[in-house]
Structure 1
């Protein structure tokens, strides 16, 4: 296996810009099969398949499925594969999503390029709750957990499928530690995306002054789960604001 845990496979040179962004943030090795025109891409991918623990294929899903034909053996040992379209719109966890870390990788890829992470494994997809979280700078993970538990009330953290926040908080250490400790993916939204959503709640002067938005936690949760309903409006505790949205197709 290659020393780089992540392989980034491009089917065309048009994916170079996306690949560069991914490599800058996630590391990994970029594969450019057109540099070896004497061999078919499918054969080249098959030869490289076990070199990395995880793959991002910048390609159409149909191409990825054809390339993977006959390669997958076992979900516990197969490399994880995430497919990213060349427009950078969707990051699809295609193979080894749960066991191989493909679902987490889909969220990481999505955060880099502003894509929508697509996860279909039942373990994650059937969880009904989404959290929107905003916090002051430097808030430790313990305070974020306390605020989340306060907002959830009698509901449990293991009913949560993802946490959503604004891009300014994408690398907030306490938030990342909280998500990591509970195995929760972090979905990041650009401020422009949140600002474009019609605002219906009470705006926060502090958030407007420091973030440039009327609010963070409620719009983050609602954008992350567009068919959901606001189960718990903004609830603040010790510098952390949490909102809870429930997917309407999975009412508790």
Structure 2
């Protein structure tokens, strides 16, 4: 029987991290040290095909050795995401598009505040990051209208990801917009935005409600730290959008 997500711990020291990820993402938390009669690597080989997605809490070098010899076809192999024990990076290692590793890496990153590492060519050639802030219960249509206003003549196809503040992580209209256009949503902690208050025009409303001067500009710049602010904050019907252009693109 095939299961959805397996979370594999290589060391007991990562158990707290594994439990937090399981609480948010679901799946099975696998602790190989509990089975003393079978080596951990052999245990993994026996169950590799039983899951559609794998989250390996270990160094990428160890992960490569774990999957060595197990892969058959990218259209049917489980996807693999690795995260280090300090939860700094969530790396889409295998099955980025076909298996859903890119999306899983984003979900892991949003759960623990890690940096998602996505290296598939399609995403690498998209130079724009959107920062979006919005009022509560703003519709998907309002968000799209504000985004298209900010983009001007630029296509949504050039957008790599959307960034917002943690308190907006479950905003229905924003989630629906991202889902419709298959845009990853990067969640930036409110404290990070407070520590990096890069805003061209402070908002009194945002300051009163969130305690920071703005959301869309700092969220986009944190998500793309080597980028530059191509379009400062624009607002429309309760939605604020900023556009950041990655400085390392074929067009720059």
TM-score, normalised via structure 1 length = 0.97
Aligned to 1:154: 153
Q: Say yes or no: does 1:112 pair with 2:111.
A: yes
Aligned to 1:6: 5
Name the CA distance, whole Å, in 2 between partners of 1:167 and 1:215: 13
* Cα drift, residue 24 of structure 1: 1.0
Structure 2 alignment gaps of length 5 or more: none
Listed as ranges, the matches of 1:1-252 within 5 Å are 1-2=1-2, 4-250=3-249, 251=251
Name the CA distance, whole Å, in 2 between partners of 1:248 and 1:140: 32
Name the CA distance, whole Å, in 1 between partners of 2:119 and 2:162: 17
Contact 2:130 2:242 in 1 (8 A): yes
* Cα drift, residue 123 of structure 1: 0.9
* Cα drift, residue 151 of structure 1: 0.6
Say what the alpha-carbon RMSD is for the aligned residues.
Answer: 1.1
Contact 2:197 2:213 in 1 (8 A): no
Name the CA distance, whole Å, in 1 between partners of 2:27 and 2:199: 42
Structure 1 alignment gaps of length 5 or more: none
Matched residue count: 251
SS at 1:5 equivalent: strand
Name the CA distance, whole Å, in 2 between partners of 1:223 and 1:7: 30
Name the CA distance, whole Å, in 2 between partners of 1:110 and 1:136: 24
Name the CA distance, whole Å, in 2 between partners of 1:199 and 1:109: 26
Name the CA distance, whole Å, in 2 between partners of 1:140 and 1:105: 26
* Cα drift, residue 118 of structure 1: 0.3
Deviations 1:26-70 (A, max 9, x none): 110011100112211111111111111111101011110000001
Name the CA distance, whole Å, in 1 between partners of 2:36 and 2:27: 23
Name the CA distance, whole Å, in 1 between partners of 2:20 and 2:101: 19
Deviations 1:137-164 (A, max 9, x none): 1111111111111110100111000000
* Cα drift, residue 200 of structure 1: 4.8
Contact 2:71 2:77 in 1 (8 A): yes
* Cα drift, residue 108 of structure 1: 0.2
SS at 1:63 equivalent: helix
Which 4+ stretches in 1 moved above 3 angstroms?
Answer: none
* Cα drift, residue 199 of structure 1: 3.1
